[in-house]
Each structure stands twice: as structure tokens, then as C-alpha cells.
Amino acid sequence: MKILDKRPADPRLSWNRRGGVVLTALLGRVDREVTFTRLVELTKLTVEDVRRQVVRFTKIKLLSRRTDLDEFPAKDYFTLSESNVVRARSLLQLIDDAELRDLVEERGLDIDVAYGRFLERQPYPVALGKALRDVRKDLGWSLVDVEALVPASMATLSNYERGITLPTLIMVAELALRYGVDAVDLIVYATCHSKPDKRVQRLRIADPTFRAVLTHQFATHDQHEFARPKIRRRQQSITKAS
């Protein structure tokens, strides 16, 4: 006889929010094996819900699975490795909303702990600026040193690092080349450490690199739109003066 889980369905528990609850639980236990039974206890989801989510995340190689056949009945263990943490947090960002946070809190889980220092509520240009500054300082370089290597003035480089202006992706690649780092790592890091862009979330892009590129492009568009009235006023002032 099949035992049915008669837990009442919660209308807030969409497919993706179930995944968000599972990810939150696993992100609090990185590099630790978690049994299937323990995962059900932590998430307070139905057995079938948890089964579907671990199958989902195992198929995309986010989780590793080990089955202990020496035990009876055999036990399944799931592990979220450190190498997959950024990817898992990127997926969690896609799902993150007020209802997911309520669901997680009701289960005694903490989504902010799951994010760690990964998610900070700062604008993308600020996060990218901090990443650029940190890399430069790790090298022991000054802005004067960098100015000699790239086609940008010291004032422009300073504006990049303070998040006042946003470098083009080409300039990010140029700086990354000089710093000896991966340009993709810079923009993915900045995206993960900044306030999620709702326009990117709406597109539901799971790949962290593509999401980072879109975040950068939207932020660039926003800065251009913000600057446009100032440019227009400046042009009007020049016209009146002439």
C-alpha cells in the first residue's frame, strides 16, 4: 500500500519556490553530505516535492549523489560542493521573492545565510567598481600605474572604481587582461554581489555569464538614460550662450 503525504498544498509553493527552499537548505550545508530524509525534514516539503527537486538539480550537475548500499534500506546522500555554490546562488537569485522568503523563514531556514556575503543590496556599478579596485589593490598597483596600461584617464578609472560611471564590456576585458584575471569572473562576481535586476530576473536566464552580461547592459542603459537630461541641458546652455 502506497503511503501518501497528506500535507495540505500551499498555493505559494510553485515549482521554482520549492526549488528555492531546497537550495536554501543545501547552501547552509556546503560540502556536507545530506541524506534525503534529512532534506525532507529541513525543507518541510513533501517527499515527492523533494525527490523531484533533487532529481532536477542532480540532472544539471548542481548536486552530486551517493547511494550507500551497505545500509538497509539504502540511503541516498546529496552534496552541494563549494565549486557549485556561485551557480546555486545564481539560481536562488532567479527565484528569490517575498513569498519565497516567507516560506523559508517559516521552515526555520535563513536565505541570507544561504547567500552568505554573495548578495549585497548595492547597485551593479558599485559592485563592479569594488571588484576592480580589489583586484588592482591585490596587485599593489596605483591608478597611475593602470592609466599607463589602458586607454583611460586616471579620473575615468577612479569613476569606474567608485561606481560613478560604468566601463564598457570591452574596457572590462582590457582591465581584466592587464590584471591577469578573467573578465567573466569580474562581471559575474559583480552581478552576484549586487541587487538583482528585475528585468534580468523576468527573462529567467539561468546561465550566470549571460545574466551578468545582461545586468551590465541594463546598467549601462540606465546610466545613459540618467545622463541624457544633463547633456540636453548642457547643450541648451551652450546654444543660449552663443
Can you give the CATH number for the domain in which 152 is found? 1.10.260.40
Boundaries of domain holding 44? 15-115
pLDDT at 171 over 70: yes
173-193 pLDDT, tens digit per residue, is 999 999 999 999 999 989 888
Quote the cell numbers at residue 59: 540532472
Last residue of a domain, one of 71, 88, 115: 115
Q: What is the mean pLDDT of residues 204-230?
A: 87
Instruction: Please give the C-alpha separations between residue 240 and each of 9, 152, 228, in angstroms, as whole numbers.
Output: 67, 32, 18
Number of domains in the chain: 2
**What is the pTM for the complete model shown?**
0.54
In the beta sheet, which residues pair with residue 64? Answer: 79
> Is residue 195 assigned to a domain?
yes
Continuous segment of H or E residues that includes residue 64? strand 64-68
| 3 state DSSP class of 221 | helix
Quote the cell numbers at residue 45: 516539503
> Is residue 132 assigned to a domain?
yes
pLDDT at 73 over 90: no
Q: What is the mean pLDDT of residues 46-60?
A: 96
pLDDT at 5 over 80: no
Q: What is the pLDDT of residue 165?
A: 93
Q: What is the pLDDT of residue 198?
A: 87
Q: What is the mean pLDDT of residues 1-18?
A: 71
Last residue of a domain, one of 68, 97, 115: 115
pLDDT at 32 over 80: yes
Query: Residue 115 and residue 30: Cα distance in Å, rounded?
Result: 11
Q: What is the pLDDT of residue 237?
A: 63
191-204 pLDDT, tens digit per residue, is 888 888 889 988 98
Quote the cell numbers at residue 205: 536566464
| Same domain as 97, residue 34 | yes
> Is residue 10 assigned to a domain?
no
pLDDT at 4 over 50: no
Q: Greater confidence, 9 or 105? A: 105
Q: What is the pLDDT of residue 1?
A: 35
Q: What is the mean pLDDT of residues 59-74?
A: 85
> Is residue 7 assigned to a domain?
no
pLDDT at 231 over 80: no
102-139 pLDDT, tens digit per residue, is 999 999 998 888 887 555 568 899 899 989 998 999 99
Q: What is the pLDDT of residue 195?
A: 83
